[in-house]
Structure 1
C-alpha cells in the first residue's frame, strides 16, 4: 500500500505556474536565473512565491485597490410595508368617509446594495435606482466603518441610476474614466457588497460593449463583463486597472438567481450625465423624435424594397415634432441615428432615450431606395416623474403620462405606473390617475411637477380609479 501524500491546493499550483512561467524558457537555453539558486536552497517552510523576480515585483492589484475601496460604500435600505387585515382598508374613500381608522400592521423589509462616492466635497454617491426604490430609510456604511444616514437626491428608473447624499467629511471619490475608450478584452475589477458580506473584489475582462435586450431593463447600453457580480453588488464600482470608474454594476444574467458569470454595468459616461441632471434638475430630461414606427418583416421588406430586420419604417409623424421639422416622412425607413445602427423598434427607442436633447443629430433614412441624411434636434419632453423627487410625501410613486385612450376620452392628469413605500401606505395604487392636487387640476406631468414645486403644506390627491373618483390625503 502506498502512503498518502499531502496534496497542495489546486490554487497554489496555478499560482506557481503563473509565477514561474519564465523557468522553462530559462532552462531551455541552458541558463539558470540567479533567483533559482536561492529558491532551491530555501528551507521547506519558506517555500512560496517571492516578492520579486530578477528585481521586478510580482504584479498585484493591491496598490490600485487601496485607492479604490475607500470610495465604494455599502447601501442599506429599510421599507415599511403594510399588511392589512381587511381589503376594505385599501379603499381610501371607504376609510375617509366612514371613519375607519387606518391602523395597518406593518413589517420592515430590508435590502442591501452598493454605491460609489463620485463627489467627495458634496458627499454625492451614485447607486442603482432599484437599490433604493421605495425605501423609507437609507443608510451608508463607509469603508472606514462609519455609518451615515443618506438623503435621496434623485433617481432615474429608465437608466437605473440614483444619487444620494451624505453629510460627511474625509470622503474619497473615484475619478470617472471615459467609458468610450473601453475595448473588449480590457481587464476590469468589480468592487461591491455581495450578499451583505462586506467589500469584495472580483476581476475579469470586458466581454462585450453596447449590450441591450435584457428583459425588464429600461434604456440599455451595458458593459458586459465576466467579473463575478452577485446580489448586493448592484450600484458598486467597475473599474479599470488605473482605478478609474468605468461603470456602475447593475445586473447579472442567471437562470437561478445566482451569479452565472455574466454581469452588466452602466457606462460611467452615461451615469455621469444622468447624475448631472438629477443634481441640477431632480429629473432626467429626454427627447422624442415624435414618430411611430414598426419592425420590418419579410412581407413588408418586399413591399419597401429593403432587407427584413434592417431598419424600422415610419408609420406616423407627429405634427410639429422633431422629426417633422427635420423633414421625415411616413414610409421612411430609419437605419441609423447618431452613428448607431437601428434594426428594430427596440433599438430606436433605446437610442432615443439615451440621446442628448437640444443637439443636432444625424439620422439615416431610406426613401425611394435612396439613402438620405436628416438632421434632427430632439426637444426635451417630460416622460416620467418620481414621487421621491417631487415631494417626500409621494415617496415610492412613479408617474407617467396618461395613456392615449384616456386622453381621447377627455381625461387628463398624471398616471401612476408604480406605487410602493409611503405612497402605497397612503392608498395610492398602480393604474390610478391623479386629476387634481388640492384645488388645482392636473393636465399633465408638467402641471403635477409645478404644483408640487410650491411645497404645499397639505397634499390631497383626487384620483380616478376605474370609473370613480377618490380622495387620497398624503400624510
Structure 2
C-alpha cells in the first residue's frame, strides 16, 4: 500500500505535464486545409510599418524633459501714448492745461506682449521671432526653472522674421539643431507659451515641407505642422521625439485668430544660418539682382516636361538684371548651372550670393537659349509682409 502512494504522485505529475503540452498544441494556429485534404502553409503577416523608426513610443515625456527647459517665455513692454483726440496734440491746448492732459492722458502705460524663444547656445543666445521683440523698450526672459533676466537684442532679420537676443545667466540648457532628415509624417512637438497661460506642449506631425509663396515673409521655406500653435507660441520650438530642434514656430493660417491645425515653422537650418550671420556681422547680408519672378504655368508651355525654370515678371529699372540685359518674360532656367524649380528657389539662391560677385543666368527668350552675366548687389531690408490670413503668433 505504501509503495502505491509513493509512485502515484509521479504518475499524476506526468499526466498534468502531458495534458499541458496537449492543450498548448491545440492553441497553435493550424494550417488551412485545401479541398483535396492537403495542408496549406500558414499565412505569414509582415508589419505594415517599421516600428523601429519610432521605437514604439507611447510617451514623449523624455523628449519634453530634454527640450522644455531650453524654451523660454518672453515678456516685452512698449511705452504707448493714448491720445484719443487730435485736439490733445495741439500745443496751445496743452499749454492751456499746463501740459497736463485731461482724464489722466499724460501717462504712458506699458503694453505687454507675450512670446517664446529657444536657448541655442550655453552663453545665453536665444532665437525668437523678430515680431516678438520689435519696437520693445524692455525684454524679459523667464526660464522654466523660475529664473528671470533682462535680454538685449543682438540682431534681427525681418526678411525671415528671426531675431537673436542674449541673456547673462549661467548653467543654461540648450537645444541642439536638427538640420536635416525631417520627413512628412514625422511626429513633432510644439513648445511655447500660448495666450500667456504658461509653458505648453502640443503634439502633431509634419504636414508638409518647403512651403513658400505664402506672403508671410520675404524668404520662405516653411515646415508646416498640425501641432496646435496659438498666439504666444511665436519664437517657440518645434522638436522631434528625441528632443532636437526642428525649427522656430512663426505663424498660423487662420481667419478667426485661433489654431486651425495649419502652423508654419522656420527650419533649423535657416535659423542657424541667420544666427551665424547676425553673430558675425550684426546683420544678414543678402544678394540682389532686382527682379520679380513667377512660376511657369500651363499657359506658358505645351509640354509638361518643359515646366521648369521661372518667368521674369518684372525688372527693376537700373538694377543689376536690367543692366545685364534681362527682360520681362524671359524664362530663367539655371543660375550658375543650378536648376531653378520655383520662384522661392531662385530668390533664396540669389540671396545667399555675396554682393560684388557675379552669377551666370541661363535663360530662354522667344524659344532661344541665352546666357547673361549679372552682378550681385546687396539687398536692402524691407518690412515684414502682411497677409490677413497668416497671423504672427504673439499678438
Relative to the length of structure 2, the TM-score reads 0.69
TM-aligned CA distance change 1:234 to 1:321, over 3 Å: same
- Aligned equivalent of 1:113: 115
Distance 1:86 1:282 in 2: 40
Distance 1:129 1:184 in 2: 27
Does structure 1 residue 381 correspond to structure 2 residue 383? Answer: no
Q: CA deviation at 1:120?
A: 1.2
Residues 208 and 223, structure 1, Cα contact 8 Å, conserved in 2: yes
The CA deviation string for residues 165-202 of structure 1, in whole angstroms up to 9 with x for no partner, is 101000011111214x3222222221111122222212
- Aligned equivalent of 1:34: none
TM-aligned CA distance change 1:322 to 1:350, over 3 Å: closer
TM-aligned CA distance change 1:72 to 1:324, over 3 Å: same
TM-aligned CA distance change 1:108 to 1:190, over 3 Å: same
- Aligned equivalent of 1:412: none
SS at match of 1:277: helix
TM-aligned CA distance change 1:58 to 1:155, over 3 Å: closer
- Aligned equivalent of 1:368: 366
Moved more, 99-108 or 268-277: 99-108
Residues 286 and 380, structure 1, Cα contact 8 Å, conserved in 2: yes
Q: CA deviation at 1:281?
A: 2.6
Which is greater in Rg?
2
- Aligned equivalent of 1:143: 144
Q: CA deviation at 1:125?
A: 0.4
Distance 1:75 1:160 in 2: 16
TM-aligned CA distance change 1:61 to 1:356, over 3 Å: farther
Does structure 1 residue 156 correspond to structure 2 residue 153? Answer: no
Distance 2:353 2:88 in 1: 45
Residues 73 and 141, structure 2, Cα contact 8 Å, conserved in 1: yes
The CA deviation string for residues 193-223 of structure 1, in whole angstroms up to 9 with x for no partner, is 1122222212222111111233454322111
- Aligned equivalent of 1:68: 67
The CA deviation string for residues 417-463 of structure 1, in whole angstroms up to 9 with x for no partner, is xxxxxxxxxxxxxxxxxxxxxxxxxxxxxxxxxxxxxxxxxxxxxxx
TM-aligned CA distance change 1:310 to 1:276, over 3 Å: closer
TM-aligned CA distance change 1:133 to 1:314, over 3 Å: closer
Distance 1:113 1:258 in 2: 16
Distance 1:91 1:353 in 2: 50
Q: CA deviation at 1:257?
A: 0.8
Give the alignment partner of residue 357 of structure 1, picking from 354, 357, 374: 354
- Aligned equivalent of 1:334: 332
SS at match of 1:83: coil
The CA deviation string for residues 50-88 of structure 1, in whole angstroms up to 9 with x for no partner, is xxxxxx986432222221111111111111210126525
Does structure 1 residue 279 correspond to structure 2 residue 279? Answer: yes
Residues 291 and 318, structure 1, Cα contact 8 Å, conserved in 2: no
Residues 156 and 274, structure 1, Cα contact 8 Å, conserved in 2: yes
SS at match of 2:109: strand
The CA deviation string for residues 124-156 of structure 1, in whole angstroms up to 9 with x for no partner, is 100011111221111111111101111111222
Distance 1:64 1:361 in 2: 44
Q: CA deviation at 1:311?
A: 3.1
Mark the runs of 5 or more structure 2 residues left unpaired by the alignment. 1-25, 31-54, 385-395
For 1:285-434, list aligned pairs within 5 A.
Answer: 285-291=285-291, 301=300, 311-313=310-312, 316=315, 319=318, 321=320, 324-325=323-324, 328-329=326-327, 331-335=329-333, 338-342=338-342, 347=344, 351=348, 354-358=351-355, 363-372=361-370, 378-384=376-382
Distance 1:322 1:215 in 2: 23
Distance 1:375 1:112 in 2: 47
The CA deviation string for residues 40-59 of structure 1, in whole angstroms up to 9 with x for no partner, is xxxxxxxxxxxxxxxx9864
Residues 185 and 207, structure 1, Cα contact 8 Å, conserved in 2: yes
The higher relative CO (CA closer than 8 Å, separation ≥ 6) is in 2
Distance 2:90 2:279 in 1: 36
- Aligned equivalent of 2:238: 238
Q: CA RMSD in A?
A: 3.9
Residues 151 and 166, structure 1, Cα contact 8 Å, conserved in 2: yes
The CA deviation string for residues 222-270 of structure 1, in whole angstroms up to 9 with x for no partner, is 1101111111111011112332212100111122111111110011111
TM-aligned CA distance change 1:317 to 1:112, over 3 Å: closer
- Aligned equivalent of 2:207: 207
- Aligned equivalent of 1:193: 193
- Aligned equivalent of 2:178: 177
Moved more, 134-143 or 307-316: 307-316
Distance 1:246 1:373 in 2: 39
Residues 296 and 313, structure 1, Cα contact 8 Å, conserved in 2: no
Relative to the length of structure 1, the TM-score reads 0.59
TM-aligned CA distance change 1:294 to 1:219, over 3 Å: closer
